[in-house]
Chains A and B, each alone.
Chain A
């Protein structure tokens, strides 16, 4: 059954309040609504929320739906900014309209189109969809951190995941670049690997942050 746009807005705000702002319940007043408002009635009817006194809480079903609305909203923002090149001040309002259109299926398609982004343009996390999990699992079969490579296994460097930029800069300068073939020689007490004709030794922390696309036999 389709939830009305107004009810979706409520779920969205409720989800952000409880999941990102750590509030246990939200008062009706702060939503600007009362118990007889049509969207509250609708949500009560489909058991997405419960009300005690004037406080509203999400049910499990409500939380699931709210999460999807947030996901659609933030995906919509990404789409507007990255693909459609929308000006900053219009992003939010356009996304609010967009989120109601991107229904089941379409959101995953957009997500795939955008390359499964993890944050919205404002830096907030985008809740993961089925498509993201699937893509990651597929990728993980072939791409693994250097530290998980087996001795003697070969591959090519895929990407880095380093917190500090100057560490990455050092690796780049030393010739550890995406696309270069790598061969793990030893993994204890330190990780030793060959890149072309040079041998390197690194510690666990760095080996964890170099990702390798494994060559299949």
Chain B
């Protein structure tokens, strides 16, 4: 019963946290660029205003995909909070992303089309590192269950240092940060207009934003899991990772998709797979 209550609370708090982090991000970014920046609640104001706006579409069914993307990411967050099997969490999250991509395709505009293609390449780029993280956690905690991983008293980040590195490398993709903000960007200065979200407006765009808040908390939640033997260190690590992403976002120019794909796979292969090979040798 308490567990269910926790899940419900988590699902309500997660987007608020995600939105707040987006606000903090904008504040820090502004300061880094010598601006004052908006209020840290700006992300909420934006989304609330989007809900008021008229919804314009190119194809009549394009927004359905966005709705399902949101529903699935909420479901994923619930699974995460429940402490379910981490592979299932990853698959559910992927399913949510795929609905988003299909929405971009359905919109049938050249910009959203290329955005969708690039989003797909991004998914394929980060998926290995994410799955390797799950496998690494299994090898140390002997379970795929998030609950068991969470309660594992061994600090996971020590034996999984390489995997943590590989995961941090792909984290900008999931958070839509430079240098990997290929499919759509927080900043309105890229050649793809708004990429995959070009044709979404009003409520649909607001939902995309909320989905992204959820995604941010899940992505950082995995960082937390690596350090969760001590809850405080875990929270600090997740916060530090987010801060690192903001710094990286502001210090790097966007790379081509080829480079994004090749480098994420290479890093996953060297540090992720390397780490797993090392672990399995040590286990024998």
The reply to whether chain A is a binding partner of chain B is no
